[in-house]
Structure 1
Amino acid sequence: MDLLQRLLYTALSVASIFYLIIKTSLSHWKRRGILHEKPKFLVGNLGGVGGKRHISSVLEQLYEKYKGQAPFIGCYAYLKPMVLVLDLELAANVLVQHTNYFKERGVFGNAPHDPLSANLLQQDGADWERLNSVVCPTFVEKNIIQMLPTLEKVAGAMHRSVKQSEPHNIIPINKLVDCYNIDVISTLAFGVSGETFLNSDTEFRRMARSYLKDFNIFRLYFLMYFPNVARLLRYKNYEQAATDYFLKLVRQKLFELEWSRIDNRSSFFQMFAELKRDRNPKRRLSDEEIAAQAFSFILMGLEACNSAMTFCLYELALQPELQRRVREEICGVLKGNENGMDKTKLEEMNLLKQCLYETLRKHTPYAFLLRNTNKDYEVPNSIFMLRTDNHLVIPIAAIHRDPELYPEPNKFDPERFSKENVQRRHPMAFLPFGVGRRYCLAQKFAEMQMLVGLATLLRHYSFSPCRETPIPLVYDNTRLVLAPKGELRLAVQRV
């Protein structure tokens, strides 16, 4: 009996301590006297995320509820206190004006034991500063334009793939653009010729789809609260099989380049390989660092480009007149297209670009940007202060759907991105690629990649809803990047 009593008392003590820790964590903003959304036990303000709700809708709800009451509010990502930025001027200060206070993203990485995490997204501090200074020159416009012929080649393979599927003209669009973007990444970031349109079950595609370890709420708590302990325990974000595959692939391609003596800059991989031979040891990249930068195209670009291209084609399918005007523009620009696309021709596709931007606004792939304060920051023109190690969330999807910035936000209207309308809005009103010192370096390339793919498809095919097309659209709440639930099928007809 004494043993049972002791076990009972021990269990009650542990439960009480656990309860007090949770209550203390969830009272952080109340103790500081900061306006905040009342949290729920364990889940904070993320109740239903991954099930009934997507993170985009949760942040949009908080943004609409508190906007105008304060420059920011407190909220909770499970037990982690977070700052939700509501004011566009504060967002500008965080991302552009006062970036010395917000140098870090605060995303967990463990490069010594998880080499693929040695990428620009997951690095902070001196490691990021060095890596950014080395890699940034790779993404200058002159280098990016050289990759247009390769993009056209991959887009041509996509065109032939659709052509061969006739007369079966009901196509899962998200799978089609996934093959395109996978082949672009494999060719330009890893130096491997894409074959996904011939065989959708390539090893590269399997690894690009299965690199992330099974994730659960307890791991999330652990990584957010005890990142240094996680590093000591050698925690890895990525599956060992995927890490081994990408490292082996990169080393093999580096060896082939070394022996072939190919000296050109027609892919990111070749430019990364040049950095391995840099005479300055501080600028020299190791094999692991090259693999991490190549992998970042999968990590940050694959799902985002899939999302934008899929939703753009979906929206144009619902507006046949707009689609016709876009097609006429593309055909007019590419008339007599003997020499392929070039920078000038892409720039002339104004309406297509406006449609892409409007898609990124209405269906923003990543709902938020993350920043971490590295020293105390007094919010200008207010009584508020952000403390060191406050984690900030800038809800870009909510900003993109703010009716004061974009009237009738649920309406798909590319005219919002005419030159005149863009100039009327706040510079922080459109942030799909971020802005400031930690913006997406590959922004111009990603835009070019999507425009080439969309132009190729819309030039040769018309898209329309079919019986299997979901209207209204249903999002997959289980994924971080905004994506349709299941296959998004459209009827495709050759023009």
Structure 2
Amino acid sequence: MWVFYLPVVISVLAVALYYYFTRTFNYWKNRNVRGPEPTVFFGNLKDSVLRRKNIGVVMEEMYNMFPDEKVIGIYRMTTPCVLVRDLDIVKHIMIKDFEVFSDRGLEFSKEGLGQNLFHADGDTWRTLRNRFTPIFTSGKLKNMFYLMHEGADNFIDHVSKECEKHQEFEIHTLLQTYTMSTISSCAFGVSYDTISDKLDTLAIVDKIISEPSYAIELDMMYPGLLPKLNLSIFPSVVHKFFKNLVNTIVTQRNGKPSGRNDFMDLILELRQMGEITSNKYGNNMSTLEITESVMCAQAFVFYIAGYETSATTMAYLTYQLALNPDIQNKLIAEIDEAIKANGGKVTYDTVKEMKYLNKVFDETLRMYSIVEPLQRKAIRDYKLPGTDVVIEKDTIVLISPRGIHYDPKYYDNPKQFNPDRFDAEEVGKRHPCAYLPFGLGQRNCIGMRFGRLQSLLCITKLLSKFRLEPSKNTDRNLQVEPYRFIIGPKGGIRLNIVPRKDVS
């Protein structure tokens, strides 16, 4: 008898599920906010959830759908969010009204690496940010420069030996060996004796980044669920890797600062204090106990950010130089002149003062901003300036750097690689929020100066000895890898590295 009722039960269940997964889809229509039509269950992220496209690319596409709108109403799974297009509103969110949007809304299990500086919110973030900012001052970076320099020399020696065997390289993986050595040495005091050591570790860390995880989508569907259930967005093997790294270094240093003044020394100094406090961002004193989980979380975020973002940026930079030989020639001329003026040496000031090199770097990040999208969470109801739209408490606000960086309103011929966009006069003509690869305001990237310095040093050393050319396998229409949680080249980037004939 039950067989006759089965189709009815299935139909009722299907209708119930359809209603459940579309129950919020009138949220923005009821508020007269335009946006793309959502899909059942996926909202506006179907291509991202199915790993067909990187989420940064999906956000850029939605940005481009509504060129006349200041904000767009979208759905991450079933959760209503807002994508901001107007740069004046961006400025309010990131800078002027930062106290309303100080949280990123990316929290997860504290024991599962969630207490790191990037993902943490509230008092945890405030306290950590206040304490870790001093490690990235100009003075500290100058003290670390010799370690970067040593890593760059070792890298160039490796490239020279490999060039005797072949000219074509997968440049992204190659550059990762350099950034892994610099972040390992400058942050953790760990050195690698051979390239094979680096490649073994790279395989582990790269697997962490590239393996798809759907914990983030779960958090989109049910905001706040991950911390409540003590769930992490990373598998346990990740936590184990960084726990072992931290424990090894702590043991080597007998639990005390070593005098290297690196990242781990700062962590050990804080641990000796038991707990740290900060009232820098307000009158209320906040405290944080420096537990093993806190130490591992910081090690994780500094390690991943320190090696991956710089390697990817340099890979894109070298790609554009290979495709634009006139720009490469101009940059090589500047590098040669700067090195000659410094008696054949590359110093901290040499790297900082090369104007064209810095413009090439800036233009690379305009075309290939690595972290997409930028995300903030409203901690109270907030009326968006210049609109009738009220953002309710706990609503996620998103900003698409790729959308802005490729918008012809701000950059003429935006798909062309043109470092002259960053002449001082040109920069002065643009809205201050038209360029945000590192974010803006108090939650900008804390390590941006470190990443910039290690990248510019490596490019300087590389171009002082080699030229970059397209190979027969160079893809002139690069796609973005959909599986990685940051922007990166799908299938890597293959280039020829050719020893320069005009240098010894």
TM bracket (short chain): over 0.9
Q: Give distance in 2, aligned partners of 1:328 and 1:339.
A: 14
Q: After the TM superposition, which residues 33-112 of structure 1 pair with which residues of structure 2 at under 5 Å, given as runs?
A: 33-49=32-48, 52-69=52-69, 71-111=70-110
1:396 matched residue in structure 2? 401
Residues 1:470 and 2:465 aligned together = no
The answer to whether the 8 Å contact 2:274/2:290 transfers is no
State the Cα deviation string for residues 375-424 of structure 1 (Å, max 9, x = none): 01112233221111111111111101111111000100000011111111
The answer to whether the 8 Å contact 2:53/2:480 transfers is no
Q: State which of 256, 262, 275 in structure 1 corresponds to 2:270.
A: 275
The residue type equivalent to 1:183 in the other structure is S
Secondary structure at 2:408 match in 1: coil
Secondary structure at 1:441 match in 2: coil
Residues 1:315 and 2:315 aligned together = no
Q: State which of 406, 419, 424 in structure 2 corresponds to 1:419.
A: 424
Q: After the TM superposition, which residues 133-172 of structure 1 pair with which residues of structure 2 at under 5 Å, given as runs?
A: 133-167=130-164, 168-172=166-170
2:128 matched residue in structure 1? 131
- Aligned-residue offset at 1:259: 6.7
Q: Give distance in 1, aligned partners of 2:210 and 2:162.
A: 35
Q: Give distance in 2, aligned partners of 1:262 and 1:299.
A: 23
Q: Which range is displaced more, 13-22 or 477-486?
A: 477-486
Q: State which of 162, 171, 174 in structure 1 corresponds to 2:172.
A: 174
Q: State which of 337, 353, 356 in structure 2 corresponds to 1:351.
A: 356
State the Cα deviation string for residues 199-236 of structure 1 (Å, max 9, x = none): 4432x32332233695455x444322435443343322
Structure 2 residues not aligned, in runs of 5+ = 278-287
Q: Give distance in 2, aligned partners of 1:462 and 1:306.
A: 18
Q: After the TM superposition, which residues 152-231 of structure 1 pair with which residues of structure 2 at under 5 Å, given as runs?
A: 152-167=149-164, 168-195=166-193, 197-202=195-200, 204-211=201-208, 215=212, 217=214, 219-231=215-227
- Aligned-residue offset at 1:356: 0.8
Q: Give distance in 2, aligned partners of 1:109 and 1:207.
A: 22
- Sort the Cα spacing of 1:125 and 1:459 in 2 relative to 1 into closer, same or farther, 3 A: same
Q: Give distance in 1, aligned partners of 2:349 and 2:123.
A: 38
Q: Which range is displaced more, 192-201 or 179-188?
A: 192-201
Q: Which range is displaced more, 334-343 or 86-95?
A: 334-343
Q: Give distance in 2, aligned partners of 1:259 and 1:272.
A: 10
The residue type equivalent to 2:55 in the other structure is I
The answer to whether the 8 Å contact 1:317/1:464 transfers is yes
Q: Which range is displaced more, 99-108 or 253-262?
A: 253-262
Q: Give distance in 2, aligned partners of 1:338 and 1:287.
A: 47
State the Cα deviation string for residues 445-469 of structure 1 (Å, max 9, x = none): 1110111111111111001011111
Q: Give distance in 1, aligned partners of 2:217 and 2:235.
A: 20
Secondary structure at 1:211 match in 2: helix
- Sort the Cα spacing of 1:489 and 1:109 in 2 relative to 1 into closer, same or farther, 3 A: same
Secondary structure at 2:47 match in 1: coil
Residues 1:285 and 2:290 aligned together = yes
Structure 1 residues not aligned, in runs of 5+ = none
Secondary structure at 1:76 match in 2: strand
1:258 matched residue in structure 2? 254
- Sort the Cα spacing of 1:5 and 1:301 in 2 relative to 1 into closer, same or farther, 3 A: farther
2:379 matched residue in structure 1? 374
The answer to whether the 8 Å contact 1:317/1:465 transfers is yes
The answer to whether the 8 Å contact 1:80/1:225 transfers is yes
- Sort the Cα spacing of 1:47 and 1:223 in 2 relative to 1 into closer, same or farther, 3 A: closer
- Sort the Cα spacing of 1:473 and 1:389 in 2 relative to 1 into closer, same or farther, 3 A: same
- Sort the Cα spacing of 1:56 and 1:213 in 2 relative to 1 into closer, same or farther, 3 A: closer
Secondary structure at 2:28 match in 1: helix
The answer to whether the 8 Å contact 1:79/1:221 transfers is no
- Sort the Cα spacing of 1:229 and 1:61 in 2 relative to 1 into closer, same or farther, 3 A: closer
**Could you tell me the TM-score, scaled by structure 1's length?**
0.92
2:240 matched residue in structure 1? 244
Q: Give distance in 2, aligned partners of 1:259 and 1:338.
A: 42
Secondary structure at 1:82 match in 2: strand
The residue type equivalent to 1:78 in the other structure is M
1:21 matched residue in structure 2? 20
The answer to whether the 8 Å contact 2:275/2:290 transfers is no
Q: Give distance in 2, aligned partners of 1:332 and 1:286.
A: 50
The residue type equivalent to 1:162 in the other structure is V
Q: Give distance in 2, aligned partners of 1:280 and 1:66.
A: 48
State the Cα deviation string for residues 467-488 of structure 1 (Å, max 9, x = none): 1111232332333322222131
- Sort the Cα spacing of 1:128 and 1:379 in 2 relative to 1 into closer, same or farther, 3 A: same
State the Cα deviation string for residues 4-26 of structure 1 (Å, max 9, x = none): 34554443333221110122122
The residue type equivalent to 1:465 in the other structure is P
Q: State which of 429, 435, 441 in structure 1 corresponds to 2:434.
A: 429
